[in-house]
Chain A
Amino acid sequence: MITKPHFAFFDEGSKKEIRRATLKAVAIPGYQVPFASREMPIARGWGTGGLQLTLSLIGKDDVLKVIDQGADESVNAVSIKKLVRHTTGVSVTEDTGEANIIQSRHRIPEKQLREDQILVLQVPNPEPLRKVEAREYLTKRMHAEDDYSGAWLLLFEQIMKYGRMSTGAEHPVYVNGRYMMTPSPIPRFDNPKMHQSKALILLGAGREKKIFAVPPYTDVKSLAFDDYPFAVESFEGKACKLCGSTDVFLDEIIDPDTGERSYQCNDTSFCMEHLNAKEKEEVENSYV
């Protein structure tokens, strides 16, 4: 006998647990609230934290978008969409503007989010101090004592070694001037999008059993020194080879045969939207 799955996969007790933790996370911006993370039908480290948040939020009328490294069609995104759709029947979309819940891994969409949208980020390593201290009770104490000297020292060591802060993704941020938080492994390019964001941002780490949040209109400041200011990745002089966008996060593609380098928008739905708009314009002009 095959039974129908419960709405949004979870039993109501599990949802309440996640909802209570989420509410506390919103009330203490940037603080990692421990929660009873559930076993999920996908492997830990594959977005179980984000998925649990999404399932606790979602209702019958919601429209969901899931992205993985900027792409709507990659395996992780497709599997998560299938699971949520199978257990809830909600509509899924690739259009950022159409969705009201956006679950993402490693990117914040290029399109500016609205007040009625919720961004759910999947977080593999929620603790920004883990490289400094392996023991959880000690990192908790550091957060309690507002002792973030270790994280500053890490950045200082990078400057000593490489002449600049060499964080690729996960460049730590201060939230509301109190808690240090990992913004999840988004590129530095996306860090400023969290500052005074219009949308609520929820971050979930399933394996590490933590939920944290950045409420809308909250200060999010990337760590930086006066003489080594925070800088996003530079794509100066480069443009997407498909849509021609210049002020977006670009992927570098190297042709294995010729060794030629080209660049493409990382956010596939943003690129598609631009291409469609361009095409529409071309068609309209050719009719005249």
Chain B
Amino acid sequence: MVVDQIHDLQQVYRKILHSMSRPGNISKLNSITEKMNEEFPCNHAFLLSALTFIDAEVTFHVIANQEKKARLTEIISSYTMAKTEAIDKADFILMLQDAPEYQIEKAFIECKTGNLHDPQLSATWIVECDLLSNSTGLSLNGPGINGAQQLQTGLHHSFWQKRNEKVNEYPLGIDVILADFSSQVACIPRTTSVTITEVS
């Protein structure tokens, strides 16, 4: 991998920050993912998002099928020195596209949402998805959005239903970073109201 840990990850951070402050706004990471020639168990934008925020100070938990889970856990640990942790303690939940439904459900039930004194002690989800676009699927409202924003994530509507349940008690909740196979990222923080407009 020829990703520059200083300058490339700074670029990724700025793109994710831009997308997090403007929910549903899609940012492209092509200029950086082009340099990545290795095969990973996840897409390149997903890996870059994880490398930007994870280090030895935080913990993570991978939800994916057994084989990919082991490989990705090893890769993230060796690149970042971070430790994997149980879902209810992990700071980052890394969810791959082929994650089994029961594992996603378990993660939604157990993951951290912070507490009223420290709502920042919540899990950030990095989610791999097929293709992000600003066509209909989800209608987003809230801080960072001028009016309304459309987002199509390709994720099953049950994912967004569970996410909505998880952010019901604002300021408690989870923040989601979505990374697709076309090197794009988009974010949905806990403040965003997500309405499912199309049932997939």
**A215 near B143: Cβ-Cβ < 8 Å:** yes
Stretch at the interface among A22-30, A151-159, A265-273: A22-30
Indicate if A132 sits at the interface (CB-CB under 8 A): no
**A27 near B189: Cβ-Cβ < 8 Å:** yes
Docked complex Cα distance between A187 and B22 (Å):
27
CB of A243 to closest CB in B, whole Å:
32
Inside 8 A of A23's CB, which chain B residues have their CB?
A: 16-17, 20, 53, 124, 175
Inside 8 A of A140's CB, which chain B residues have their CB?
A: 117-118
Residues 60-90 of A at the B interface (beta carbon under 8 Å): 60
**B170 near A178: Cβ-Cβ < 8 Å:** yes
**1/0 per position for B3-39, CB-CB distance to A under 8 A?**
0011101110110111011100000000000000000
Other-chain residue from A7, A20, A27, A33 in contact with B191 (beta carbon distance below 8 A): A27
Inside 8 A of A216's CB, which chain B residues have their CB?
A: 21-22, 144, 146
Inside 8 A of A26's CB, which chain B residues have their CB?
A: 17, 20-21, 144, 189
Docked complex Cα distance between A102 and B117 (Å):
31
Residue picked from A17, A213, A217, most chain B C-beta under 10 Å: A217
* Number of A residues, CB within 8 Å of B: 40
**1/0 per position for A188-218, CB-CB distance to B under 8 A?**
0000000000001000000000000101111
Indicate if B119 sits at the interface (CB-CB under 8 A): yes
**A218 near B120: Cβ-Cβ < 8 Å:** no
Docked complex Cα distance between A24 and B17 (Å):
10
A-side interface mostly: mixed
**1/0 per position for B124-146, CB-CB distance to A under 8 A?**
10000000000000000001111
Inside 8 A of B9's CB, which chain A residues have their CB?
A: 12
Indicate if A226 sits at the interface (CB-CB under 8 A): no
Inside 8 A of A144's CB, which chain B residues have their CB?
A: 115-117
CB of A139 to closest CB in B, whole Å:
11
Docked complex Cα distance between A167 and B122 (Å):
35
Indicate if B85 sits at the interface (CB-CB under 8 A): no
**1/0 per position for B82-111, CB-CB distance to A under 8 A?**
000000000000000000000000000000
**A24 near B175: Cβ-Cβ < 8 Å:** yes
**B124 near A178: Cβ-Cβ < 8 Å:** no
**B117 near A218: Cβ-Cβ < 8 Å:** no
Known: A28-B120, A31-B119, A178-B171. A7 touches B7 (CB 8 A): yes
Indicate if B57 sits at the interface (CB-CB under 8 A): yes
Known: A26-B21, A60-B7, A217-B143. A19 touches B53 (CB 8 A): yes
CB of A35 to closest CB in B, whole Å:
9
CB of B56 to closest CB in A, whole Å:
8
Inside 8 A of B116's CB, which chain A residues have their CB?
A: 144-145
Known: A59-B14, A216-B21. A16 touches B55 (CB 8 A): yes
Q: Which 3 A-B pairs have the closest CB atoms?
A: A27-B189, A144-B116, A218-B143
**Could you list which residues of chain B lie within 8 angstroms of chain A, going by C-beta atoms?**
5-7, 9-11, 13-14, 16-18, 20-22, 52-58, 115-120, 122, 124, 143-146, 170-171, 175, 189-191
A–B complex contacts, Cβ < 8 Å, 12 sampled: A7-B6, A12-B5, A15-B13, A23-B16, A27-B20, A58-B10, A59-B11, A115-B22, A176-B143, A178-B170, A215-B21, A216-B21
